[in-house]
């Protein structure tokens, strides 16, 4: 996983702080409040796990599909032959959030991005990401581990097939 040291420290720190608050509360309020504090702790743990499991951690090509990998699942976002444009963006500035998780560990959202418009963001970082626009009009920003290698692999697959199978998309670096 690609969580930075800061995110891991904050995440672990919040769990330690919750455990300390729980322990101190039980010690000072008596055992009768134990069930209430235990319920709050379980709810907090479940909500945090849901958010963490919803974090996109990688993107890769599997067959003819472009796949975004999450911690607990994977999602196919489109097919290589449907790509209209693909390029690497050095840095992305998100605008108005329309839907999703503008998260602590990553982003899984629909957002307005300057110079691109409304697009789906499934990324764990804002810099060195890949922008993909499909022929159906859907736009994605994803964060593969190695964006140059990812784009090169797609370019090679497109060039190795006849033009009627993979119409050549615009591949550029912005």
Average of pLDDT values for 57-73? 89
| Residue 130: closest CA among 75, 81, 61 | 61
pLDDT at residue number 112:
83
**pLDDT for the residue numbered 107:** 78
Whole-number Cα distances in Å, 28 to 22, 25, 37, 123, 134: 10, 5, 12, 43, 59
Q: What pLDDT does 130 receive?
A: 94
> Per-residue pLDDT for 150 more than 90?
yes
- pLDDT value at 119 more than 80: yes
Domain ranges of the chain: 5-53, 56-173
Share of the chain above pLDDT 90, in %: 24
Top pLDDT among 94 and 153 is at 153
pLDDT at 54 over 80: no
**Contact (CB, 8 A) for 111 and 119:** yes
CB-based burial, 133-155: b 16+ in 10 Å, e otherwise: bbeeeebbbbbbeebeebbeebe
Q: Which is more confident, 1 or 167?
A: 167
CA separation for the pair 109, 107 (Å, rounded): 6
Tell me the CATH class for 56-173: mainly beta
pLDDT reported for residue 174: 45
pLDDT, one tens digit per residue, over 68-98 is 998 888 999 999 888 888 999 988 887 776 6
């Amino acid at each position: 996983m690609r969580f930075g040291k800061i995110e891991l420290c904050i995440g672990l720190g919040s769990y330690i702080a919750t455990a300390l608050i729980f322990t101190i509360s039980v010690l000072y309020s008596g055992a009768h409040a134990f069930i209430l504090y235990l319920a709050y702790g379980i709810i907090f743990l479940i909500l945090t796990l849901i958010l963490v499991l919803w974090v996109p951690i990688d993107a890769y090509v599997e067959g003819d599909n472009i796949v975004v990998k999450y911690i607990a699942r994977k999602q196919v976002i489109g097919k290589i032959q449907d790509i209209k444009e693909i390029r690497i963006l050095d840095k992305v500035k998100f605008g108005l959030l329309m839907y999703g998780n503008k998260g602590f560990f990553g982003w899984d959202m629909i957002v307005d991005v300057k110079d691109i418009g409304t697009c789906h963001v499934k990324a764990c970082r804002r810099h060195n990401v890949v922008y993909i626009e499909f022929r159906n009009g859907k736009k994605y920003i994803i964060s593969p581990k190695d964006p140059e290698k990812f784009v090169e692999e797609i370019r090679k697959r497109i060039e190795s097939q006849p033009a009627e199978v993979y119409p050549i998309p615009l591949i550029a670096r912005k």
